[in-house]
C-alpha cells in the first residue's frame, strides 16, 4: 500500500539516516575490540577479551635497538596488571628484517631473554599492502595525533577501557618513562 503523504519519502530517508548513524556509532564504539588476530600459539585471540581493561598495543621485534624495551614493558605489565592493565605484543618484520624468526622462535626468545608474560600475538605486518586490519585501523582511523604510518618497531598505542585509542607513543618513548606511566595511570583511574 503506497502512501500519498508528501512526507512519506522524507520519513523513509529519516529512518535510513537513523539506521546509518546507529550502525556507524556501533562500529566506532567497538574501537579495537572488533579485531581478532591469532595468538603467538596460532589460536584466535579476539581483542574483545580485553573489554574493560586499559590496553597497550606494541609492535615488537627481537633484533632491534629498542628490543631491550621488553624488560620495561614486562615491568609495567607486572606492576599494573592487577588494576586492569594489559600489554599486547605484535611481532612485525617490517623494519630492517629485525623480526625474522618464526612465532615459536619469537615466543622462546621473549620468555627466555625477557621473561615476557604479557599476551603475544602471531607475527603480522604493520605497514604496506599486507598490513594487518588492526594496524590499518590504528594508523588510518584513530584521528589526529594518533593516526599515521608506523615509523619503526616499538610504536605504542594506549587504549582506554572502552576500546578507544587515546594516545600514541613513538619508539624512543620508553614504557617506564614519566610520560607513558602517567598516561597509563590516568587511564586506570577512569
CA distance 124 to 80: 26
Under 8 Å CB-to-CB from 37, ≥6 apart: which residues?
Answer: 44, 45, 47, 90, 121, 122, 124, 132, 134
The b-or-e profile of 95-116 (16+ CB within 10 A means b, else e) is beebbebebeebbebbeeebeb
Is 110 a residue of the active site? no
Taking residue 183's Cβ as centre, other Cβ atoms within 10 Å add up to 19
Under 8 Å CB-to-CB from 25, ≥6 apart: which residues?
Answer: none
List % helix, strand, coil for the chain (3-state, nearest 5).
40, 20, 40
**Do 142 and 35 form a contact (C-beta atoms < 8 A)?**
no
Residue 167: in which H helix or E strand, if any?
Answer: strand 165-169
Q: For strand 156-159 and strand 85-91, is the pairing parallel, antiparallel, or unpaired?
A: unpaired
The catalytic residue among 38, 39, 51, 64 is 64
Catalytic residues, by residue number, are 64
Amino acid at each position: 500500500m503506497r502512501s500519498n503523504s508528501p512526507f512519506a519519502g522524507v520519513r523513509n530517508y529519516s529512518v535510513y539516516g537513523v539506521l546509518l548513524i546507529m550502525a556507524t556509532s556501533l562500529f566506532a564504539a567497538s574501537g579495537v575490540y572488533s579485531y581478532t588476530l591469532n595468538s603467538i600459539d596460532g589460536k584466535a585471540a579476539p581483542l574483545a577479551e580485553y573489554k574493560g581493561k586499559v590496553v597497550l598495543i606494541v609492535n615488537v621485534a627481537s633484533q632491534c635497538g629498542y628490543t631491550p624495551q621488553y624488560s620495561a614493558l614486562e615491568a609495567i605489565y607486572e606492576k599494573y596488571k592487577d588494576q586492569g592493565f594489559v600489554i599486547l605484543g605484535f611481532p612485525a618484520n617490517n623494519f630492517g628484517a629485525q623480526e625474522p624468526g618464526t612465532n615459536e622462535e619469537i615466543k622462546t626468545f621473549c620468555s627466555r631473554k625477557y621473561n615476557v608474560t604479557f599476551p603475544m600475538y602471531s607475527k603480522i605486518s604493520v605497514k604496506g599492502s599486507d598490513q594487518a586490519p588492526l594496524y590499518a585501523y590504528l594508523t588510518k582511523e584513530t584521528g589526529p595525533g594518533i593516526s599515521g604510518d608506523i615509523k619503526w618497531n616499538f610504536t605504542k598505542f594506549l587504549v582506554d577501557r572502552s576500546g578507544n585509542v587515546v594516545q600514541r607513543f613513538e619508539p624512543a618513548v620508553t614504557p617506564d618513562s614519566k610520560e607513558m606511566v602517567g598516561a597509563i595511570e590516568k587511564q586506570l583511574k577512569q
